[in-house]
Structure 1
């Protein structure tokens, strides 16, 4: 009854059913008994219907019932539908749809979708030696970067060395990724003397995604060296890297590396080290021993020459720091030509110790062959040796 507004519409219907039953009972009791034998007259046939004939119409379809149903408010029934119930169902469907849309928006804002192109092509090992920094609110204006946008960084994951600690490398993930996935991969590498620090970039609007938020080290409109440079965002991420390295022991060699956008940030940090300053002019505070960039590009390549030629000290640092760049020729996210041009720009501007490795049929991901090259190069340039323990 509740779906029809509480009106007593059932009373006329019940009365019609009772009246129909009463009429049938009265007709049956008052008719003359059927004579035994002999043909029936027309009058008798009208009194005694054929027992094989179909039963009379149900009272539910009688005219009395039609009149009773007609007394039910038309606002409740139309074309056989109870519209109060229909309205309730529609409201429930709308509420569920709005809830699903809100949930999807929350997940997207956390940067969990839209980054499938930035996967790594290797199996991840266990994470027994991976530790997590539980402080996720570190601001990016550490060490004099001059922050104006207080983006908060995500969780930092640390892979502790299995042998004697001789080097620490900050490894930066790509656009839309996080530090956890790379920490699992780096733990499987045969480099027992390296401590890996894998931070997670803050979630921010990204122009290449139409302003959609994603984990990113800086804003970018195009994944190449031709894109406009977000100096503020680059300085922020370079300062975050320097802050993570600043607490390491003095006798530990320091490095920075990354994949895709993380590689771009790593190369920018290397140029800041050589120049001795961030892009905004504040001093760069740590000494970097080397840098690695996989499937990335060089930001601020157009202004690099002026930075390196600004002082003899900058030119000396640029020529001394080893750089490894690797890129797949089948990369359709950050095109191979951008990686090649970045290596050439570094060499032309005083970075004489640059190694560029290319891989046929390699897309925007890593493969064991590439990671083996990284391990070999790090071992040689950090002086680790194969017998280190």
Structure 2
């Protein structure tokens, strides 16, 4: 999978950017799926946060009969301990790294960059953030799981041991059961990570009330 900076929707702030949120979409979606949420986050009008919504590469997905769609990695089965194709996860991690590097090249410090994601994108934000060798501003994981199921990935870095994390999940999620999110939360907190967990009465989706909470969390992460 090669890096193409044009494979993303970028929303620039009115002020010169001093921080960046890289927000990764779920299976079969694109960056366009979440790009409309920015005005719903309740950020100040004069904020200086650049939002990047990358498009995942197109590839065959096993659980969907091999149908080609945008996907950060292949999903081999519904088994939580063997759902994610780790080779594909690592390949997409490199794409996320290059989006991060593009921001570093523009003068944004790593501790002013938030990795965020929903479903598959949340898996990628967790996996990449836990292993990233520089401190990030925050890691957000919505309606997702750890690629190893009940364990942290190999090669975790101490750089983000104290980085704020936010985990949200729907109590009625038929795609990624809430137990998967709880499993990830348990693994993170038992390892000493600072994650906030919250559930909502919803399926595999995002609610307007969530976006307000997310906006407040983003502001806290970038104000510290």
Q: Which residue of 1 aligns with 2:25?
A: 173
Structure-2 residue corresponding to 1:210: 65
Pair 1:380 & 2:220 matched: yes
- Matched-pair contact (CA < 8 Å) for 1:225–1:342: no
Q: What secondary structure, in the 3-state scheme, does the structure 1 residue paired with 2:93 have?
A: helix
User: How much does 1:181 deviate?
Assistant: 2.5
Contact between 1:157 and 1:179, CA under 8 Å: does it hold in 2? yes
What are the equivalent positions in structure 2 for 1:298-317 lying under 5 Å apart? Answer: 298-301=146-149, 304=152, 307-308=155-156, 314=157, 316-317=158-159
Alignment partner of 1:327 is 2:169: yes
Q: How many residues in Structure 1 have an aligned counterpart in Structure 2?
A: 217
Whole-angstrom CA distance in 2 between matches of 1:329 and 1:156: 30
Alpha carbons of 1:187 and 1:227: their partners in 2 closer, same or farther (altered >3 Å)?
farther
Q: CA deviation at 1:228?
A: 4.1
- SS of 2:145's equivalent? coil
In the TM superposition, residue 163 of structure 1 has moved relative to its aligned partner by 3.2
Kindly report the root-mean-square deviation, in angstroms, between the aligned alpha carbons of the 2 structures: 2.3
Determine whether 1:254 maps to 2:113: yes
Q: Residues 1-389 of structure 1: matches in 2 within 5 Å?
A: 139-140=2-3, 155-191=7-43, 192-222=47-77, 225-248=80-103, 249-252=106-109, 253-273=112-132, 276=133, 287-301=135-149, 304=152, 307-308=155-156, 314=157, 316-351=158-193, 353-360=194-201, 362-383=202-223
- Mapped to 1, the partners of 2:10 and 2:78 lie a distance apart of 28
Output the CA distance in 1 between the equivalents of 2:60 and 2:80.
20
| Partner SS for 2:223 | coil
- Whether the aligned pair in 2 keeps the contact of 1:266 and 1:291 (CA below 8 Å) is yes
Q: Deviations over 1:151-181 (max 9, x none)?
A: x898311011133523101111110001122
Report the Cα offset of residue 287 of structure 1.
4.2
The question of whether the paired residues in 2 share the 8 Å contact of 1:162 and 1:193 is answered with yes
Structure 1 length normalisation: TM-score? 0.52
Deviations 1:256-306 (A, max 9, x none): 111111111111111211xx4xxxxxxxxx542211111111112455276
Q: Which runs of 5+ in 2 are unaligned?
A: none
Q: Which structure: larger Rg?
A: 1
Would the alpha carbon gap of residues 258 and 317 (structure 1) be closer, same or farther in structure 2, given more than 3 Å must change? same
Distance 1:332 1:257 in 2: 21
- TM-score between the two structures when normalised by the length of structure 2: 0.87
CA contact (8 A) 1:154 1:202 kept: no
Deviation at 1:318, TM superposition (A): 4.1
Contact 2:86/2:147 (8 A) holds in 1: no
In structure 2, the CA distance between the partners of 1:218 and 1:236, relative to structure 1 (3 Å rule), is same
Distance 1:341 1:298, change over 3 A: same
Q: Give me the whole-angstrom Cα distance separating, in 1, the residues matched to 2:138 and 2:183.
A: 20
Secondary structure in structure 1 of the residue aligned to 2:218: helix
